[in-house]
Amino acid sequence: MSWSVFCRVVDNYGDIGVCWRLARQLHLEYDEQVTLWVDDLVAFGHIAPVRADAEEQLLEGVRICHWHAAAQPADDADVVIEAFACELPASQKAAMRARSVTPVWLNLEYLSAEDWVISCHGMASPQGGGLTKYFFFPGFAPGTGGVLAEQRMLAARAAWTTQDRFALLAGLGVARPDITTLSLFAYENSAIADLIGQLRASGEPVNLLVPMGRALPQVAAAIGHGTLTPGQHVQVDALNIYTVPMLPQHRYDQLLWSCDLNFVRGEDSFVRAQHAMHPSVWHIYPQDDAAHEIKLEAFVDRYTRHWPAQDAQVLRAFWLAWNRGALVPGQWALLRALLPQWQGYARTWSARLDALGNLAGNLVKFAKTKLK
Ligand code: TRH
């Protein structure tokens, strides 16, 4: 089948992060012909080696086209995906109406663990002119579209060794890869100062790897350092802070595999941290009406369903505190004490995710049933 995926970068890297992984996997693992239309090649360039000035380019077998005001996309594709409810351009809709075989039009939704997702997954909405749009919901439960998980990532993860881990950390300048190692990818968050304070007070030797981005100024402020730039190492007490440049997506995956606990955010890094089979803390994308807390709790409910109640409570309290911007004194110590058991729970959770089938494969199956 031929596929066109449309992506508008609302902000940050998650929109294009998800679309790029999906486009690449559809081509590499399902042998589909894929065009990815994206409106922000500069943001895309932070996670993959794309040229920002090219109208059209080929990367890993995927045709990438710049979607801008003057572009008139009109692909003759079997399946057209509007990612995250980005509106398809009129020219594309006209091409879809004119097609002799009606294409499958899919809205790929945001990821949520809420129960209602199961009943809405696959719902059809007639669009006139013989076209129907289907709502495709990623999710964590049977009856949803699952999450992205490439075969080659799963194979690479299975082959990842302690030596690989040490080599990766050494490559980032980490002097002692044998001590507790955390990564911190987050939005601006006043709880960062609390975390750093509690890490320092613990006296435990810890590596804290901080990717470039929105959390970095708060890390710098918390240690009274002024500006931090990529590749720096600052030691405060037993806490070793390393600033990490923006890595290509597969390297970032490897970084997640290499840490004992990953602070992640948004949608894509959140899922990748689950594939890493290590404990994680999620900074959910904040929404004005606090709707994000409902989503956060829905995930916590699902994720900790089989945990002892006491352990689940430690996680829930920490995640809520992190997202509300203030840790309670002693909260890091409680989370730290949970890490050994949580490591086991994280493995079990990851196996459950694998059993759902991956999002790209589920999309292919779904599209085949609808393409007439
Ligand atoms: O960047 P995010 O916050 O992205 C999004 C957007 O804000 C979007 O509008 C919103 O809808 C969505 O979140 C929920 O977080 P996310 O989703 O984790 O995306 C980050 C991407 O960046 C992901 O694909 C991983 C990638 N990445 C790298 O490739 N290298 C890196 O070094 C890092 C830190 C991230």
pLDDT in tens, the chain (372 residues): 999 999 999 988 999 999 999 999 999 999 999 999 999 999 999 999 999 999 999 999 999 999 999 999 999 999 999 999 999 999 999 999 999 999 999 999 999 999 999 999 999 999 998 999 999 999 999 999 999 999 999 999 999 999 999 999 999 999 999 999 999 999 999 999 999 999 999 999 999 999 998 999 999 999 999 899 999 999 999 999 999 999 999 999 999 999 999 999 999 999 999 999 999 999 999 998 889 999 999 999 999 999 999 999 999 999 999 999 999 999 999 999 999 999 999 999 999 999 998 999 999 999 999 997
Q: Residue with the nearest Cα to atom 3 of ligand 1?
A: 266
Around Cβ 58, how many Cβ atoms within 10 Å? 9
Around Cβ 111, how many Cβ atoms within 10 Å? 26
Residues at CB less than 6 angstroms from ligand 1: 10-15, 17, 47, 185, 211, 246-247, 249, 252, 265-270, 285
CA 194, CA 328: separation in Å to the nearest integer? 8
Spacing, Cα 253 to ligand 1 middle (Å): 12
What is the three-class DSSP state of 226?
coil
Spacing, Cα 40 to ligand 1 middle (Å): 14
Spacing, Cα 54 to ligand 1 middle (Å): 23
What is the three-class DSSP state of 196?
helix
Please name the residue that has the structure tokens 């693992």.
Answer: 29
Catalytic residue among 11, 15, 55, 311: 15
Please name the residue that has the structure tokens 């190692």.
Answer: 181
For the question of residue 253 being annotated catalytic, the response is: no
